[in-house]
Structure 1
Amino acid sequence: MQPGGFQYAAGEHPAEGWSYREALVETSRLAELATLPAAGTLALEALRIAAWRPRAVTELDERAIPHEFDWLRSAVHLAKGCYRGQETVAKVHNLGHPPRRLVLLHLDGSDAVLPDAGAEVRLGRPDDEGAVVGRVTASARHHELGPIALALVKRSADVASELTIDAAGVLVPAVQQVIVPPGAGATADVPRLPRLGAR
């Protein structure tokens, strides 16, 4: 976690050891890299998802705020003054709750399909007609975890409930691993005062 940050995820964050970097190499020097292990972009995407590392291209939309992605731990300094969006960040962190939360989905791999970005996340088992509670933002096959995905779900979605994702017509059962808990925020613990005239 960065100085001045705040982590919503409980326990050790899987991105603690994340050290991904990109470098441009001249074509004439490619032979020098022949001894290094190589992997493709699909493997990189699976590692990113398993490390709970959201990416602007896949996870962000016009309504996104840092709290939904647990970015307060690595990208926001809560003790600094005056930056764009400071009021929203401070208000949600101290008094409110983010409306959505990022979760890691462990997908049933029986059908060997992965949901596309934007696939609906529904409450309940595949035979239920549960309410839509979110959308998949990215999915991949991890070398140890199997099929996984990141999804943004409503804060009110029960953390213990089973979920179903529509992967191109195949209903895939999933369970969520909490990244941002439903109670994230409201760290100021301001007591609620009774309304005037209430009995």
Structure 2
Amino acid sequence: MTSPLLTTPGAVSAESTDAGVAAHYGRPAHEGRAIERSGAWVDRSNRGVVRVSGPDRLGWLNDLTSQLTLGLVPGAGTEALVLDTRGHLRHHLSLVDDGEAVWIHTEPGDGPALAAFLDSMRFMLRVEVADLSGSRSVLTVLGPERDKAVAAAVERIGGVPVRAAEGESDLFVPSERLVEAAEALTEAGASPAGLWAYEAHRIAGHRVRPGLDTDERTIPHEVDWVGRAVHLEKGCYPGQETVARVHNLGRPPRRLVMLHLDGTVERLPEAGSAVEFDGRTVGRVGSSARHHELGPIALGLVKRAVPVDTDLTADGIAAGQEVVVAPDTGANAQIDLRRRPR
């Protein structure tokens, strides 16, 4: 798909996974500052959208995902994971309940697969699953002044579910009214920002993106999903054994770091390229971007044993590491060794 918002003055299309929406609108640094200091909207209409309705929806999702969704307050956004039996990621869900249905957005192209999986797990429960990727589009609004803009867009469009979480609001807008919603946001003081600025903001916030910052071996503890997308005090779900075992007895084999890259190098590292220490490959690079204040940054997964105070190279670029997941994450069991009285 190609977003109609690419006709916005200055819009330049993103590439690869995010092709079809704007990478920037001509002023990436200004857009980054608007995200953090005032208000900005980001076209994320390439995201997959799934709607789950029916009276059993929250309990059903609670049984299928890593998140505690029972009693989820309408309007309160959260994240959840669908894991396989070994604790590896199948789907990442950004979701909100509006009192009548759960609205989910997921990675570009993943909406149909997520909907098909959920539909296959309905059995006799009172739930309905619909893939709305072609009829609903996500607009994300950020910044300290975002509430005014969100209210203006909801008033203009009407019936727009809003997911509020981690300093941003996601609007599930009817696709045919996407331009109208963006205009309402702009008139209310939010300026357009592209994915370059949004991704830089996300990386600086240490939030991983599935498929870029994860691979087929990733488990939740490695990438700081515990607490954010994984609830440790809920009932059984696929993959829980791995989560519980790492949390209580072991430590994950890898850990997430943020990489501060050498700013004199003109290029950014490729996702999936090697992170090296002392000439040896010790991990992989995930997503990267140029932040308006921090300069070039990236996320990476490195082996747990890599010293936390050492410099690394990412795709041949010198990089200092900022610890996100500590090497001693996990192993939280308190085991008292009892000795026989002599």
Query: Is the TM value for this pair above 0.5?
Result: yes
Secondary structure class of the residue paired with 1:24 = strand
Is 2:339 aligned against 1:190?
A: no
**Deviations 1:70-117 (CA, angstroms, capped at 9, x unpaired):** 111211111112111111100000000001111100001112221010
Deviation of 1:20 after TM superposition, in Å, equals 4.9
Question: 1:95, 1:189 within 8 Å by CA — same for their partners in 2?
Answer: no
What residue number does 1:148 align with?
A: 297
1:91-110 superposed matches below 5 A: 91-110=245-264
- Equivalent-residue separation in structure 1 for 2:208 and 2:173 (angstroms): 23
TM-score, length of structure 1 as denominator length: 0.79
What residue number does 1:12 align with?
A: none
Q: 1:27 to 1:79 in 2, by over 3 A?
A: closer
The count of residues paired between Structure 1 and Structure 2 equals 171
Question: 2:212, 2:272 within 8 Å by CA — same for their partners in 1?
Answer: no
Secondary structure class of the residue paired with 2:183 = helix
Secondary structure class of the residue paired with 1:57 = coil
What residue number does 1:61 align with?
A: 215
What residue number does 1:159 align with?
A: 308
- Runs of 5+ unmatched residues, structure 1: 4-15, 125-129, 194-199
What residue number does 1:137 align with?
A: 286
Return the index of the structure with the highest Cα Rg: 2
Is 2:185 aligned against 1:33?
A: yes
User: Higher strand share goes to which structure?
Assistant: 2
TM-score, length of structure 2 as denominator length: 0.47
Larger RCO, structures 1/2 (Cα 8 Å, 6+ apart):
1
* Amino acid aligned to 2:231: H
Is 2:317 aligned against 1:172?
A: yes
Secondary structure class of the residue paired with 1:173 = strand
**Deviations 1:16-51 (CA, angstroms, capped at 9, x unpaired):** 943252543505624323322110011111111011
RMSD value, Cα: 2.2
* Amino acid aligned to 1:33: L
- Equivalent-residue separation in structure 1 for 2:230 and 2:184 (angstroms): 38
